[in-house]
Each structure stands twice: as structure tokens, then as C-alpha cells.
Amino acid sequence: MKLFEYEAKEILKQYEIPIPRGELATSPDQARDVSNRLSAPFVIKAQVLVAGRGKAGGIEFAETPDDVKAVSARMLNIEIKSLKVNAVWIEERLKIKKELYFGITIDRSKRSYIAIASFAGGVNIEEVATKTPAQINKMIIDPALGFRNYHARQMAREIGYSGKAMLTLSQMFRKLFQIAMAYDAELIEMNPIVETIDGEFVAVDARLIIDDNALYRHPQYKKRLLLENKTELTATEIRAKKAGLAYVQLDGDIGIMGNGAGLVMATLDAVHLHRGKPANFFDVGGGASESQIVSALDILLSDPRTSVVLVNILGGITRCDYVAKGILKAMEKCDSKKPLVIRLVGTNEEEGRRILTETGIHVLDNMDKAAKRAVDISLGR
């Protein structure tokens, strides 16, 4: 789960990591009032749960409170990567000498956290790693030791600092690691940390992503996971999550449903193999009930992006006859004319096939053939 910048900064402030003075505003008038309490010049930042907002017009500068109001009025009326801007963060603009990067994330190949530091901050760190990897310093964090003071000092030295500046910077690194542990972070970063012309270090931007599996430890954020405009999830993803289903929206037109993450991934691969484009990843689970099948198909059939729906069920715990009944109920509920391609094998498959074929629905027993048929329908061939 992604937190807004202002939320991440509030957490940094609690851990005594310096941030610029700033406040949140949800209207142009409020933005002007906020700027009257701050010192000019100002930075206005759109609060959206996506990266790269600067290139999309989500970060602008202003000299006066009236300028802040005008910029905010414009920014609060735009969308950034399909997400509406509902709030802006107004903060004091600092006089910057240098921009740095520091973050903590997970290296899944090492099964451990990793600390990343660079003297090239303020830009997309993935681009830096690709184009100029020598500018990236990494340290695998031993889970038994954690990230100690001497680790933090070493990383501060590696990006060019010594003496008092190195000690100050290393303390910021240590505190960020403490936040990562306290908030079950998949990723936490300060990009950039700026060195001001006065020799101070300040985190002018912050990003924090909490592991969804740990949200039970953070109820203040778990509640809003299902609220539109408070999460990066789409409306369809929220609807599926409320139904207890695992759904991820993609950019194609072939709706896909299966029981089991591995089976669904294999189905996506089969569709890609035949040059089709999946509209989603949708796993109803290994023990899906009839009601869950109805909910899942209702979501797919009512999605205006889908031209065809491919159902791939391998019945183990899930009974094929329950799936068949769920399919018929969903079609009746949606009154949809969208074509269905169904592959159904496993427990009670004969009964499931009978239920569907008696209503004129053809059932396949081969996943590759089912994927090809769905792609053919999608491409009109």
C-alpha cells in the first residue's frame, strides 16, 4: 500500500528527520492561506499515489501566495496517470547545493533488505542504476544485525561525505531504516535528500510503500485501502477486494479468470503466446464457492474494457458443477452478450459440462485451445 508524500513526511518528522515546512491543502483558497503561514518562495506538489508526477505537471513553483492559489487551482483540476488530484502539499522552497538519494527496499534474490545510496538524487533512481551504475552504492542488510551506525557511516562516506556532515547524514539513514522496520516497508526512500547552501540535510521528498500482508499491524491505513481516491487501486480492483478476490487490472481486452495464481499466470502466458492482451489477473482461489464465481464473472462481464471473457478452471477443491452454476447465475445477473470461452476440468467436470452444454455453452478441456479461441474472438478472426 502506497502512502501519500505528506503522510510519509509526517512519519519522517516523527522520527526527527528534517523536512521542509509545509502543509496540506484541498482548495485554492486553503492553499493561499497555507502559504501565508510559510516563507516564500514555495513548492506546490500534487498528492497522487504515482511516481513521475513532476514530468506530468504535478510539481510547480510559486513566489507569492496569490501565485500559490493560481497554481493550486490549476493542479486540483488535473489528472496524473488517470488519478485525480484532490490535494496539494505546499512547502517552503530551499536553496539547494546538492541532491542525494537514500532508500531501503527488498532484494528478493537475496531474501533481505537492501540499503541504496547515491550522490545523484532528484531523478529516477532506476535510470541512474541503468545508465551510470557506478553512482549507486548498495548494502545488503543482514537480518540478524540490522542496519547499524557503522553501516550508515560507511554509506555516507561512499557518497562523498566525511566529518560532521557524514555523521549527520548517517543518522538520517539509520532513522529511515528504523521507519522501514516499524512500518513493514516494501520500499521507503528520500529522493532527494538535499544539502542546502547552509550545510543542512533535508528530505524534500519521501515515498513509503507498506507490505499489504502487514496491514493488520497498521489499521489506520488498512481501513482506507478500499476507499477511492485514498488508494492506488482502481474502482474494479476495490470491488474485487471487497468480495475477497485477488484482482489486478491490466491494459488489454481479454477478461481472464482462474482458480489459483499459478494457473492464472499460465493463462496470461497462453494468451500472450497467441498475441492477445489480457485485461486483468483474476484469481478466485483454489476453493472458490459458487457465490465467488458469480461475483468474479459479474465483475468481468460488466467491465466495459473486456470484449471476451476466458474462464480457466482446474477443479480440485473447487467443484466444476459449482463453477458451471455460478457462470449461469452471473450471465443471468449481468444480462451480458459478451462471448465466454470456458475451459473446465477436474472434480465433477462431467456434471459441470452437462450444466453448461445444455444451455448452449461450449466447454473446452485444453487451456491452449481456449486461450487461442479467446484471442481469435478478441481480434475478430
Active site residues: 101, 189
Question: Does an H or E element contain 4, and which?
Answer: none
Contact indicator for 252, 277 with CB cutoff of 8 Å: yes
Question: Does an H or E element contain 326, and which?
Answer: helix 320-334
Q: What is the largest CA-CA distance in the chain?
A: 81
275: alpha, beta or left? (left if phi > 0; alpha if psi -120 to 50) = left
Give the C-alpha separation, 173 to 100, whole Å.
Answer: 12
Amino acid at 26: T
Q: Name, in order, each residue with C-beta under 8 angstroms of 106's C-beta and a sequence gap of 6 or more.
A: 112, 113, 114, 186, 187
Distances (CA, A) of 93 to 67, 193, 325: 14, 13, 61
